[in-house]
Structure 1
Amino acid sequence: MSNQPGSSTAESIDRSPEQPAGRTGYAPGTPVLAVLALGWLAAMLWSTREAIHSAAVGLTAITLSAFALPGVISAALVAGAAVALAASELTARRLGDRAALRFAAAIGAGMLVGLGTALAINLTYADNATTNTIAGTSAAAAIIGGALAGARTPAPVGAVVTATLGTLLFVVLFSQARDPLFDLFGAGDSQASLVGAAKWVSRTESLLGGLVAGLLAFGYLTWARRRAVRHAPDATAPRWPAYLLAGAGPGLLLLLTEVIIRIGGRTLLDLAGALSEADAVAQTSMGTSRIDNGIWVLFVGALTTVVLFGRTLGPAPRDDDPEDPAGD
């Protein structure tokens, strides 16, 4: 029996025929993740609706819709992935761990989340072109999230969903500390000081967000490995590429969110940017900031999980008697 890095002897169990190649353990807690992700999506939809309806009709509503679009799309993407992961795991337990069944269940669940999101937006938001753009783009994001969750590596997918939810929540909580940090980083009356302070606040948020993502991804994979060994001894322990992917996953989803926004929400963004020169600059600046944030979260999260995984590795086995390779 060969030793697996990062796991004890009891966890280093050879793969049996019932444990197909490519499946990295099991994803625990998927129903809870699905409920939390749907709750987050509902909160984003509600807050966006309240912001738009409280604004004056016309130009202000368009601007607020464009600003709120990234939050709704990221929530729909994560919700689609979380519900699809729960559906695919249930399918794998009930009908067998077959790739086609898992993917079909994931796609179906993602489509249901997308359809429900689009209906909720169309039924509760004002009926206009802006609403249709938000609804269609959110539905597409949920379906894409469902497709991503159909992979035969459920534990890393669960880690990505957990870490992304934690990162999105951290961003909301961090907003309460923005004003004190602006003062800390020297924001004054001049435009240059405000721009400089804003850059440092944004970098601090991205750095801490990546750290949160990495810690949550590592914690989830560690939990998944222990549960797999306890309930399914034939499951293989995740190796370092799984930790790397899980840590980088939240950043990748944030960047994917930006791609979906740029494609599906292009009409809304162009409409908001055409209102005035200041609105155009604001939309460009926020888009650039979102991309920078995604890149920071990606690399910091990946580095965090890999470093934490490396600390779990034991010393390499040594040959106490190199002159006698037969071990006599």
Structure 2
Amino acid sequence: MSNQPGSTTAAPVDPPADPTTGRTGYAPGTAVLAVLAAGWLTAMLWSTREVIHSAAVGLTAITLSAFALPGVISAALVAGAAVALAASELTARRLGDRAALRFAAALGAGMLLGLGTALAINLTYADNATTNTIAGTSAAAAIIGAALAGARTPGPVGAVVTATLGALLFVVAFSQARDPLFDLFGADDSQASLVSAAKWVSRTESLLAGLLAGLLAFGYLTWTRRRAVRHAPDAPAPRWPAYLVAGAGPGLLLLLTEVIIRVGGRTLLDLAGALSEADAVAQTSMGTSRIDNGIWVLFVGALTTVILFGRTLGPARHDDEPGSDEA
């Protein structure tokens, strides 16, 4: 409005809300997510150290390190994203919701976490080439996760972090049910039955993990929407692409973890695979299983969130229906 005599100067308004989040620069519970993800990373680092140190020095330690690498890398990737999201949200509240500040804060937090993770590994693990590979790859994963969390859509990012963390915790808990499921799927002393049962157990795990990831992603976005409405009642509701991305995000992060492992940890995987023909087959089989798991979680999670979002939609209103113009 022009500042002519007798006119009223318009009050400054907030920037328009992001249609995918419901409100500019807003994601609830980021501090709790950061603590949980950092705690999960610490637990994975500690368990890996105990397993490696309990093994015999030499070839066995190399094999165990290769098997433990995916768990550490996935935990570092999620922890980097969670800590960076919390830092970017804090910066947005204190200094303003600007994309450059948000990304800088996220990247800085991820670099600090990655450096701390690498130092913890080098100081507590045995000093060798295997340790250096784990430390460097973990630091890179934390920084990559932080860069992803620096996006200007904190709502879906928080949903992806929540769902991925829940899926990782579920996989660990699901390991207690593997033996009963092997018997359920007909495993016996034959090699063919063991391979077939292992395939069905893996598919069941991936299906349930994807379903859980979709439920958690939908729940987090619903929570984000309700919290945003309290601050801005006219904020637009999240659109279906936000739910699609949030549901598919955990699977995408698992596939990204595999890329980081094969690039940063290639030396360790090659060293473990060169020990024997059985080790080479095991490494190849585990890599294929992780890729299949990521794809299953991606599609099942995305489908779950989209279906749940569709059930929240009411019937479409048609203005040309009879009686629509009546008082």
- TM-score normalized by structure 2? 0.92
What do residues 23-81 of structure 1 show as CA deviations (whole Å, max 9, x unaligned)? 62321000000000000000000000000000000000000000000000000000000
Counterpart CA distance in 2 for 1:163 and 1:17 is: 30
What amino acid maps onto 1:294 in structure 2?
G
Counterpart CA distance in 1 for 2:227 and 2:18 is: 19
8 Å contact from structure 1 (residues 73, 261) kept in 2? yes
Seen in structure 2, the aligned counterparts of structure 1 residues 144 and 188 have a Cα distance that, compared at 3 Å, is same
Identical residues among aligned pairs (%): 88
What do residues 190-234 of structure 1 show as CA deviations (whole Å, max 9, x unaligned)? 000000000000000000000000000000000000000012335
CA shift for structure 1 position 322? 5.9
Equivalences for 1:12-31 in 2 at 5 Å? 17-21=14-18, 24=21, 25=23, 26-31=26-31
Seen in structure 2, the aligned counterparts of structure 1 residues 81 and 324 have a Cα distance that, compared at 3 Å, is closer
Which residue of structure 1 lines up, in the alignment, with residue 54 of structure 2? Answer: 54
What do residues 243-287 of structure 1 show as CA deviations (whole Å, max 9, x unaligned)? 000000000000000000000000000000000000000000000
Say which SS state the counterpart of residue 192 (structure 2) adopts: helix
Larger radius of gyration: 2
Which residue of structure 2 lines up, in the alignment, with residue 269 of structure 1? Answer: 269
Which residue of structure 2 lines up, in the alignment, with residue 293 of structure 1? Answer: 293
CA shift for structure 1 position 20? 4.8
What amino acid maps onto 2:230 in structure 1?
R
2:114 equivalent to 1:114? yes
What do residues 300-325 of structure 1 show as CA deviations (whole Å, max 9, x unaligned)? 00000000000000011122656998
Which residue of structure 1 lines up, in the alignment, with residue 191 of structure 2? Answer: 191
Say which SS state the counterpart of residue 135 (structure 1) adopts: helix
Which residue of structure 2 lines up, in the alignment, with residue 231 of structure 1? Answer: 231
Counterpart CA distance in 2 for 1:147 and 1:233 is: 31
8 Å contact from structure 2 (residues 19, 236) kept in 1? no
CA shift for structure 1 position 238? 1.2
Counterpart CA distance in 2 for 1:324 and 1:256 is: 52
Could you tell me which runs of 5 or more consecutive residues in structure 1 were left unpaired when the two chains were aligned. 1-15
CA shift for structure 1 position 237? 2.1
CA shift for structure 1 position 236? 3.2
8 Å contact from structure 1 (residues 19, 234) kept in 2? no
Which residue of structure 2 lines up, in the alignment, with residue 143 of structure 1? Answer: 143
CA shift for structure 1 position 298? 0.1
Counterpart CA distance in 2 for 1:235 and 1:282 is: 52
Which residue of structure 2 lines up, in the alignment, with residue 180 of structure 1? Answer: 180
Which residue of structure 1 lines up, in the alignment, with residue 210 of structure 2? Answer: 210
8 Å contact from structure 1 (residues 136, 264) kept in 2? yes
Which residue of structure 1 lines up, in the alignment, with residue 8 of structure 2? Answer: none
8 Å contact from structure 1 (residues 66, 272) kept in 2? yes
Counterpart CA distance in 2 for 1:87 and 1:268 is: 33
Counterpart CA distance in 1 for 2:235 and 2:94 is: 17
8 Å contact from structure 1 (residues 23, 152) kept in 2? no
Which residue of structure 2 lines up, in the alignment, with residue 75 of structure 1? Answer: 75
Which residue of structure 1 lines up, in the alignment, with residue 86 of structure 2? Answer: 86
Counterpart CA distance in 1 for 2:218 and 2:208 is: 15
8 Å contact from structure 2 (residues 18, 153) kept in 1? no
Seen in structure 2, the aligned counterparts of structure 1 residues 321 and 169 have a Cα distance that, compared at 3 Å, is closer
8 Å contact from structure 1 (residues 23, 154) kept in 2? no
Seen in structure 2, the aligned counterparts of structure 1 residues 235 and 127 have a Cα distance that, compared at 3 Å, is farther
What amino acid maps onto 2:207 in structure 1?
L
Seen in structure 2, the aligned counterparts of structure 1 residues 131 and 234 have a Cα distance that, compared at 3 Å, is farther
- TM-score normalized by structure 1? 0.92
CA shift for structure 1 position 154? 0.3
Number of paired residues? Answer: 312
Which residue of structure 2 lines up, in the alignment, with residue 33 of structure 1? Answer: 33
Counterpart CA distance in 1 for 2:238 and 2:95 is: 24
Seen in structure 2, the aligned counterparts of structure 1 residues 118 and 22 have a Cα distance that, compared at 3 Å, is farther
8 Å contact from structure 2 (residues 19, 239) kept in 1? no
8 Å contact from structure 2 (residues 20, 156) kept in 1? no
Counterpart CA distance in 1 for 2:20 and 2:187 is: 51
